[in-house]
Amino acid sequence: MKTVFAVILVSLASVTLAQEPLVFDNPEQEARYIKLTTELRCMVCQNQNLADSDAPLAQDLRKEIHGMMLAGQNNDQIITFLVDRYGDFVLYRPAMKGNTLALWLIPGVLLGIGGIAVFFTVRSRNRKLIAQRQEGSN
Amino acid sequence: MIGRLLPVIIFLALGILLAFGLKIADHKTEIPSPLIGKQMPAFSLPLLGQEEMMVSDQDLLGKPFLLNVWASWCPTCRYEHPVITDLAASGIVRVIGLNYRDEAADAQEWLRRFGNPYEFSLADLSGRTGIDFGVYAAPESFLVDARGIVVFKQIGAMTPEVIEQEIIPRLQPGSKVQ
């Protein structure tokens, strides 16, 4: 049983972030760092976040973010730093503004259209069923 | 009537959406630079091969130039090298290198082997200036005007078409670059 448990633990360890050891001032800062780097896109391998990527640029940017955190910068300052250089594309959670409005609204609109379609389909089916039943009873 | 047409309409709408998506996907990896129209980032970097000489962004003002980001480890830089060489030889615009995240010895060996088209190369061995320029994949090229404003960015290999259609028009008298 212990062996099984150990194997599971080891395999879990391999999913940890692709990162070099970093020293933080406190655990809160480390948690903030992990959260922030998982929400930022690696520009080299664009479907990976900064935390997971092994690309040299991702390593550089992690170092940069770590340094900025130790220097007392907040998340907004760090995000502004990256957006100024790489654009909104670095954000996995883009800000809501003119050119990202469609991105935010389309899922809701689609859901609405789907809901309306379901409503009308169900209603017409109900009517048919009622009509059939009435025919049957006549 | 509408009920019968609806699947056709949905099919067409989906088709248009997917065609649009495919068109976007062609350029998906090219990310528009937020630097366009802005002052180039400040830097002070040693020259490759003359490390005692420092060059800053202020030193480059006065004439438009193309900043070509290259590295000896970058195969596409090797591929675009003849195009950059021709552009530099034509004298249309100053061509300055930014040797990005490289080893100085490897970089100099690369220039010896394939030829050095650059007026000079700035040595950004740590890649820190590259971050300020938003570089994420060499080669990249920035066209900077005489006032130091970034007017165009090419991501990936420079081609004769890009020089013809994007670089030269921006260098004409009367265009904003002058």
Scanning A58-117 for CB atoms below 8 A from B yields: 60-61, 64, 83-87, 89
d(C-alpha B101, C-alpha B130), whole Å: 8
Identity of the residue in B33, B128, B135 whose CB atom sits nearest the CB atom of A87: B33
Residue B37 is predicted with a pLDDT of 92
Would the CA dihedral through B110, B114, B118, B120 be positive or negative?
Answer: positive
Between B33 and A2, the more confident residue is B33
- Asked if B127's CB is within 8 angstroms of A85's CB, the reply is no
Inside any domain, residue A125: yes
Q: Which two tokens stand for residue B1?
A: 């009537």
Lowest mean pLDDT among A42-46, B66-70, B137-141: A42-46
Number of structural domains found in chain A: 2
Determine how many CB atoms are found less than 10 A away from the CB of residue B112.
9
Q: What residue segments make up the domains of chain B, in order of their start?
A: 1-30, 33-171
The verdict on whether omega for the bond into residue B139 sits within 30 degrees of 0, i.e. cis, is yes
Mean pLDDT of A51-76: 92
Q: Which CATH number characterizes residue A52's domain?
A: 1.10.8.640
Same-domain pairing of A111 and A126: yes
Is the pLDDT score of B74 beyond 90? Answer: yes
pTM, 2 dp: 0.76
**What is the tens place of the pLDDT at every residue in B109-166?**
999 999 999 999 999 999 999 999 999 888 999 999 999 999 999 999 999 999 999 9
Residue A56: closest C-alpha in chain B = B101
What percentage of chain B has pLDDT greater than the value 70?
A: 92
Residue B4 has pLDDT above 90, yes or no: no
The whole-number pLDDT of residue A104 equals 86
Q: Quickly tell me which residue has 């962004």 as its tokens.
A: B57
Please judge whether A60 and B137 are an interchain contact, meaning their C-beta atoms are less than 8 angstroms apart: no
Q: What are phi and psi of A110, to 5 degrees?
A: -60, -45
Q: A61 to chain B: nearest residue by CA?
A: B131
Tell me, yes or no, whether A21 and A64 share the same domain: yes
pLDDT for res A100: 76
Is A51 part of a structural domain of the chain?
yes
Asked if residue A79 and residue A38 are part of one domain, the reply reads yes
Q: Which of residues 14-53 of B touch A (CB under 8 A)?
A: 28-29, 31-35
The CA distance from B120 to B170, in Å, is 23
**Structural domain that includes position A112:** 96-138
Task: Please state, for a pLDDT cut of 90, what percent of chain A lies above it.
Answer: 46
Supply the ipTM of this predicted assembly.
Answer: 0.77
User: Counting Cβ atoms within 10 Å, is residue B71 exposed (0-12), middle (13-18) or buried (19+)?
Assistant: buried
Contact B137 A44 (CB under 8 A): yes
Query: Regarding predicted confidence, which is higher, A23 or B67?
Result: B67
CA distance B97 to B118: 6
pLDDT tens column, A95-116? 777 777 888 899 999 999 999 9
Cα dihedral A65/A70/A72/A76 (nearest 10)? 20
Q: Is A87 among the domain residues?
A: yes
Residue B59 Ramachandran class (φ > 0 left, ψ -120 to 50 alpha, else beta): alpha
- The domain B33-171 is classified under which CATH number: 1.10.260.40, 3.40.30.10, 1.10.10.10, 3.30.470.10? 3.40.30.10
Contacts of A61 in chain B (CB under 8 A): 131
Q: Which of A44, A46, A61 sits opposite B131 (nearest CB)?
A: A61
Q: Are residues A113 and A59 in the same domain?
A: no
Q: What percent of chain A has pLDDT over 70?
A: 84
Strands B121-124 and B94-100: parallel
**How far apart are alpha carbons A17 and A36 in whole angstroms?**
13
